[in-house]
Amino acid sequence: MRHTSFILKNAALAGAVLALLAGCISVPADTGKPANIDLAARARHAPGIVLPADAWPAEQWWLAYGDPQLNALIARSLKDNPSLATVQARVAGAQAVVRAERADEGAKVGLETGLNRQRYSSNGFFPAPIGGSWFNDANVQLRASYDVDWWGKHRALVAASLGEANARQAEAAQAAQAIAAGVAQSYFRLQMMWARQDNLKLLAAIQREIVAGRKARIAHGLATDEQLRSAELDLGVLEEQSARLDTQALREREVLRALTGGDAEALAGLARFKPAPAANALPRELGMELLARRPDLQASRWRVEAQLGRVAASEAAFRPDINLVGALGLDAVSLGKLLRWPSRTPLLGATLDLPLFDSGRLKAQLGVARGQRDELVAEYNEAVLAAVREVAQEGATLQGLEQEARTHQAALEASRKLVAGAEARLKRGLLERAGVLQARMTLLRQQDTDLQLLDARLQTQVALVKALGGGYHAAPASAAAASNTK
């Protein structure tokens, strides 16, 4: 008992001395902290950008289009896309690092055993009968140690690893949203190409009828060769456009197949379907909600949190490190005496580490950690402003396309009336067949413009959903932390 008291008193004395010496090792002042930016004030779009509904995207926003094919394609892509497997593996790796960091904290207990047979030298320290003889050495020892972590270095490292794991989870959500948006945009683009192909075929059929009519009129001396060549040229242009759309549709089909992770026959049964735009929605206010809704911003924020933990660990490295050690064991020169009371070897101690002559390296490491922190904070602020700009641009584009579509509807309706009037005059014998064909071609060209506008609206709708976070919403910090400790 006196030995234990002596060890503890001396450990306390040594701790007091080293704590006093630690005051001589000062942590360098942090002069590089970035200026605070009011992100909530900057995370707003212009008040003039207004869409019909005030809402954030739903988690499965693609269901609003009412297209079972699209739903199945996105479900398949979220299951089979290789890039998702990559980010999920990174999440698992980051969570393993968190568990490893947590495993290093607190008390450690271990059992050590050994059995040796050794001959002691006849010319060594031990005289005969020990010298020149063989002896067995048996021991068993239960050791325990505890890292006090006075300055929070280990806690900071755990926080850093947890921040990195949360960043990886946010990146996984970002990857899933990017894949879903990519599938939707590719699918809509392919469907619009098919619809335009069908429209071009109708245009080409009418143009062939016009060419045939010109040939008939030439045979009767009612038209010239120039008029025929002009009609044939228009037909050639239409066929060229149709061939270009065929190539683009084939390329887009391969893009869609790759996004869904399917084989060569994965899209064999894909049917033509003319999608209708979903209801346009844009939150009246973005503010801090946008920061929680964008997984890429959450990943950036968690990386800042992780780096703050590394900075705190680098600052704690300037302080003395104190560990407590204890052991209870048995040691004997023969197995028969190992379990006897005199064979006991109790141990109590403490290890104290003070970096008196290592401040240059520590200062350099701290400077690097702080510099990386400042860089990550600046990147996060930049990412917030870029996200707001992206939302504003897509919202303004969609608002403009809606207005353009409404204006185009008037031209489309006028073309329909023109066809109806031409057909009525043809029935009464007041108009030739060529006049009706020209009216129909005008309508089909207006319909092609309408399809292009529809495609642009669909693409911009999906881009806006993605810019708003695609239905993602960050979990509270406590919940995110709990999910990473399981």
pLDDT band at 12 (very low <50, low <70, confident <90, very high): low
Lowest average pLDDT, out of 33-42, 86-95, 418-427, goes to 33-42
C-alpha to C-alpha distance for 423 and 435, rounded to whole angstroms = 9
Kindly state the DSSP code that residue 281 receives in the 8-state scheme: B
**Whether the Cβ atoms of residue 398 and residue 460 lie closer than 8 Å to each other:** yes
pLDDT band at 359 (very low <50, low <70, confident <90, very high): low
Q: With a cut of 90, say whether residue 236 has pLDDT above it.
A: yes
What mean pLDDT is reported for the chain? 82
Residue 42: the pLDDT is 63
pLDDT per position as a tens digit, 211-227? 888 888 788 877 788 88
pTM for this model (two decimals): 0.79
Residue 1: the pLDDT is 45
Q: How far is CA 338 from the centre of its chain?
A: 60
**Whether the Cβ atoms of residue 275 and residue 191 lie closer than 8 Å to each other:** yes
pLDDT per position as a tens digit, 253-308? 999 999 888 887 888 889 999 999 998 888 888 878 888 889 999 999 999 999 99
Highest mean pLDDT among 142-146, 346-350, 404-408: 404-408
Mean pLDDT of 12-34: 61
Q: With a cut of 60, say whether residue 2 has pLDDT above it.
A: no
Tokens of 285: 């206010």
Spatial CA neighbour of 395 closest among 293, 295, 471, 283: 283
Residue 460: the pLDDT is 95
Mean pLDDT of 445-469: 95
**What does the buried/exposed string (b/e) look like for 93-102 if buried means 16 or more CB atoms within 10 Å of the residue's CB?**
ebbebbeebb
pLDDT band at 198 (very low <50, low <70, confident <90, very high): very high
pLDDT band at 24 (very low <50, low <70, confident <90, very high): very low
What values do phi and psi take at 302, rounded to 5?
-70, -30
Q: Which domains does the chain have, with CATH numbers?
A: 1-25+107-148+321-354 (2.20.200.10), 43-105+153-318+358-483 (1.20.1600.10)
Q: With a cut of 90, say whether residue 46 has pLDDT above it.
A: no
Residue 425: the pLDDT is 87
Q: With a cut of 60, say whether residue 5 has pLDDT above it.
A: no
pLDDT per position as a tens digit, 113-169? 877 877 878 787 778 887 778 877 777 777 776 777 777 787 888 888 888 888 899
Q: With a cut of 80, say whether residue 100 has pLDDT above it.
A: no
The three-state secondary structure class of 318 is: coil
**Which run of H or of E encompasses 116?**
strand 107-119
